[in-house]
Structure 1
Amino acid sequence: MDFDVIVLGGGIVGVSCALHLQDRGRRVALVDRRAPGEETSFGNAGLIERTAVVPYGFPRDLRTLMRFAKNRSTDLYWDYRAVPHFATWLARFWWESSAERLMAAARDMLPLIERSVTEHERLIKRAELQHLVRATGWIDAYRTPARLAREAAVAEATAGSYGLRVSVLDGATLAAREPGAVGGFCGALHWQDPMSVVNPGALTKGYARLFEASGGVVLTGDAATLIGRAGAWTVQTTSGRISAKEAVVALGPWSDCVFAPLGYRIPLRVKRGYHMHYRPTRPMLSMPFVDAEQGYVVAPMEGRLRLTTGVEIARRDAEPTGIQLGRAERFARPSFGLGERLDGSPWLGLRPCTPDMRPVIGRAPRHTGLWFAFGHNHHGLTLGPATGRLLAEMMTGEPTFADPHPFRVERFSR
């Protein structure tokens, strides 16, 4: 065979899987329709979110639900035409978001979250990409004192339970520390453990270059041409059809293009989001800011400010809209001094999500040599290297650093 493993998907998860398999002596080909780091891994807020110990659940309080139902909020916009497509998925998401089940998801995800920064640091050092990362944490900013007081109490309890570091900043301290964010915030929480990335796409590309420099092969190809036959998996690339004993599906929001034709019914949906870059008119931020009450992020990106939106519920291939970005701009421009737009059009990204807030990592039960690694629910950049390590350990028979049972695909076949 041409290779030991074909990894389908050139995002942060696929590249990380390829690197970890290569480190364990496997001959690996990385295949995608585009160059590494040019899809979902390109357009996020750049957070390696060590503090994401509790997944993003479906809101349960009536006030938030009523606000979302009006479809006028900044943090969520939904296309009514997509409701039938999402209805069953949203019902399962709501059910999984009860307090008891949400904490079960948090317990299952914790080993991956705990390793998120350290696994990135190992690859960053090997790839000599230190110039792309900042160990400054991130700011969770609030506009109303009552909301800040409530969230500060929750944050301090969470930090104490999970060994995290958080500081409460009043308005004056926040303004003095971050003069680029002086509009409308009464204070903030400074989470200190996460790292931020000033160019997420470049980080993924840097990991891919490390993979190639160590003997890995990056090819352009169509994952939908994957065929399993006679103990081998083959896929068509621009260099011809290649084969391997094993294949990994790490295609993020497009993973269903491979697993659905093979008969797997995995409830994977995408939450869409947008970003735009702006010229800063104030001192540059030192770290990403979340406007907690409006639901968007402004992050420093190599001399520019990147505004990333909340969630848009729409079909994966629906035409982009400017609705959510426009809503966020109304708050972000005065708060962060956003100057003119620097991109010709908003970038649209797709976050692959499962309703139980856990990724799918592990063996495909009905196909020998087929493995899955997708569905990271807003945290693909955060969890890419940790996922790559866990999957590589599973595929090579090593002891795993985390229990892989919660991430098995069979959980959806009941």
Structure 2
Amino acid sequence: MTTDVVVFGAGIVGVSAALHLQARGRSVLLVDRTGVAAETSSGNAGLIERSSVIPYAFPRDPAALVGYALGRRIDGRYDPAFLPKIGGWLFSYWRHSAPARLAEAAAAMLPLIERSVAEHDALAADAGTLPTMRRTGWIEGYRSPASLADAVAEARALERHGLAFDVMDPAALKAAEPQLKDAFVGGIHWRDPVSVPDPAAATRAYADLFLARGGRFSRGDARSLAVGRGDVRFETDDGPGLAGAAVVALGPWSNDVFAALGYRFPLAVKRGYHMHYAPAAAPGLVRPVLDADVGYVLAPMTRGIRLTTGVEFADRDAPPDYRQLERCEPRAREVVGLGARVDATPWLGRRPALPDMRPVIGEAPRHAGLWFAFGHAHHGFTLGPVTGRLLAEMMTGGPTVVDPAPYAPSRFGR
């Protein structure tokens, strides 16, 4: 098989890149070992998070750090046996979360975040899924007056970005979400974000659009990639392939490829879990709800109410450990009526993250024709389409929708 570009990874980032390259006249082969949206892209809260203009930083409050260290926090846990391997990365993440560096990361990510909804809308309009997108925003709920006051102050500081939000008392929360119980003393309704009832289905719809426009998909192992002078070679279940360029958009598995080529990007994995529940009463939730003081999200999905956990630092390929989900579930039942579990077993996903809280998007420093797009952490679904557009513009030599410099692979050396 010959093609202009082979894209490894059929999650939201890879599918979006394939579509945008195709729209710019390139023949594209999409390759994945399992299928479209079969991994990380299927397990998020379905949010296109326009209001997340500040990246998820490492906690710097001493009390919070003690809570994490002693395993008392629900929103984050770690495997003690894995700590020696991840300790250096966590320290780097902590350093980049200092106020000045966090402000730098926020400024770098803002252009992508600002384009997130518009770029999803463009693909959804062509894919026929625009009517499924819920423009109801999402709610952050708070259990204590102190945490609510802090959150309101932080929200006010973000008004310069043109974000729309409402501060809600218990009566307003009940009016917006009748199924909520009395766990929250108040909340913030962010109105700009959009959500979808099935992020995997949304990604598959984009992939179907790619195929309908003449794109091709094959199963294959990206570790077969060999980069030559002016071309790349690889293996698929349909036979060997030859392309002029390759995109590595493998999320948490990207290091299986770049490490073999001599790159040492500090890519880590934030593991997380979800479970679906039948609503205890109709109509269930209208929009996603974050229990900000505990650290999980409840999102209305096609399969029911999805409970998504916070972060688990453990080896990428270690067996699942459901303790975090088990601790979240009773707290979630304090917030909304949850019926029986819908899934036979909890889902385990892996969020690819870099310590400076921005992805790698751009051409490999030492291999012409090899391009990277990974490391979006909590915002892969949010930023997939705008990342795909930016990457395609860079690869085809056109003007870019945002300045790509903050995401350059070369920031980690050659």
Mapped contact 1:16–1:387 kept (Cα < 8 A): yes
User: Shift in Å at residue 177 of structure 1?
Assistant: 2.0
Q: State the alpha-carbon separation in 2 of the partners of residues 56 and 86 from structure 1.
A: 18
* Secondary structure at 1:44 match in 2: coil
Across the aligned residues of Structure 1 and Structure 2, the Cα RMSD in angstroms comes to: 1.0
Mapped contact 1:333–1:339 kept (Cα < 8 A): no
Q: Report the counterpart of residue 264 of structure 2 in structure 1.
A: 265
Q: State the alpha-carbon separation in 1 of the partners of residues 11 and 155 from structure 2.
A: 31
Q: Amino acid of the residue matched to residue 88 of structure 1?
A: G
TM-score (normalizing by structure 2): 0.98
Q: Report the counterpart of residue 41 of structure 1 in structure 2.
A: 41
Mapped contact 1:364–1:371 kept (Cα < 8 A): yes
Q: State the alpha-carbon separation in 1 of the partners of residues 87 and 334 from structure 2.
A: 37
Q: State the alpha-carbon separation in 2 of the partners of residues 177 and 9 from structure 1.
A: 38
Q: Report the counterpart of residue 130 of structure 1 in structure 2.
A: 130
Q: State the alpha-carbon separation in 2 of the partners of residues 406 and 281 from structure 1.
A: 46
Q: State the alpha-carbon separation in 1 of the partners of residues 96 and 367 from structure 2.
A: 28
Which whole-Å deviations, capped at 9, do the CAs of 1:203-256 have from their partners, x for residues lacking one? 000000000000100111111111123421111111101110100000000000
Q: State the alpha-carbon separation in 2 of the partners of residues 233 and 177 from structure 1.
A: 53
Q: Amino acid of the residue matched to residue 273 of structure 1?
A: G
Q: Report the counterpart of residue 109 of structure 2 in structure 1.
A: 109
Q: State the alpha-carbon separation in 2 of the partners of residues 131 and 342 from structure 1.
A: 26
Q: Report the counterpart of residue 96 of structure 2 in structure 1.
A: 96
Q: Report the counterpart of residue 86 of structure 1 in structure 2.
A: 86
Matches within 5 A, 1:3-42: 3-42=3-42
Q: Report the counterpart of residue 349 of structure 2 in structure 1.
A: 349
Q: Report the counterpart of residue 213 of structure 1 in structure 2.
A: 212
Q: State the alpha-carbon separation in 1 of the partners of residues 333 and 401 from structure 2.
A: 44
Q: Amino acid of the residue matched to residue 394 of structure 1?
A: M
Mapped contact 1:11–1:204 kept (Cα < 8 A): yes
State the aligned residue count: 413
User: Shift in Å at residue 193 of structure 1?
Assistant: 0.2
Mapped contact 1:284–1:303 kept (Cα < 8 A): no
Mapped contact 1:132–1:199 kept (Cα < 8 A): no
Residue identity (%): 56
Q: Report the counterpart of residue 246 of structure 2 in structure 1.
A: 247
Q: Report the counterpart of residue 326 of structure 1 in structure 2.
A: 326
Matches within 5 A, 1:291-302: 291-302=291-302
More displaced 10-residue stretch of structure 1: 402-411 or 264-273: 402-411
* Secondary structure at 2:335 match in 1: helix
Q: Amino acid of the residue matched to residue 136 of structure 1?
A: T
Q: Report the counterpart of residue 374 of structure 2 in structure 1.
A: 374
Q: State the alpha-carbon separation in 1 of the partners of residues 143 and 226 from structure 2.
A: 54
Q: State the alpha-carbon separation in 2 of the partners of residues 375 and 190 from structure 1.
A: 28
Which whole-Å deviations, capped at 9, do the CAs of 1:85-117 have from their partners, x for residues lacking one? 111111111111110000001111111000000
Q: State the alpha-carbon separation in 2 of the partners of residues 368 and 94 from structure 1.
A: 33
Q: Report the counterpart of residue 234 of structure 2 in structure 1.
A: 235
Q: State the alpha-carbon separation in 2 of the partners of residues 132 and 347 from structure 1.
A: 23
Mapped contact 2:8–2:250 kept (Cα < 8 A): yes
User: Shift in Å at residue 303 of structure 1?
Assistant: 5.4
More displaced 10-residue stretch of structure 1: 173-182 or 389-398: 173-182
* Secondary structure at 2:232 match in 1: strand
Q: State the alpha-carbon separation in 2 of the partners of residues 393 and 380 from structure 1.
A: 19
Mapped contact 2:276–2:303 kept (Cα < 8 A): no
Mapped contact 2:170–2:182 kept (Cα < 8 A): no
User: Shift in Å at residue 183 of structure 1?
Assistant: 3.4
Q: Name stretches of at least 5 consecutive residues in structure 1 with no aligned partner.
A: none
Mapped contact 2:273–2:309 kept (Cα < 8 A): yes
Q: Amino acid of the residue matched to residue 81 of structure 1?
A: A
Q: State the alpha-carbon separation in 2 of the partners of residues 64 and 334 from structure 1.
A: 22
Q: Report the counterpart of residue 392 of structure 2 in structure 1.
A: 392
Give structure 1 regions of 4+ aligned residues with deviation exceeding 6 angstroms.
none
Q: State the alpha-carbon separation in 2 of the partners of residues 64 and 285 from structure 1.
A: 30
Mapped contact 1:362–1:372 kept (Cα < 8 A): yes
Q: Report the counterpart of residue 196 of structure 1 in structure 2.
A: 195
Relative distance call for 1:277 and 1:303 in structure 2 (3 A) is: closer
1:280 paired to 2:282: no
* Secondary structure at 1:73 match in 2: coil
1:166 paired to 2:161: no
* Secondary structure at 2:367 match in 1: coil
Mapped contact 1:181–1:335 kept (Cα < 8 A): yes
Q: Name stretches of at least 5 consecutive residues in structure 2 with no aligned partner.
A: none
Q: Amino acid of the residue matched to residue 120 of structure 1?
A: H
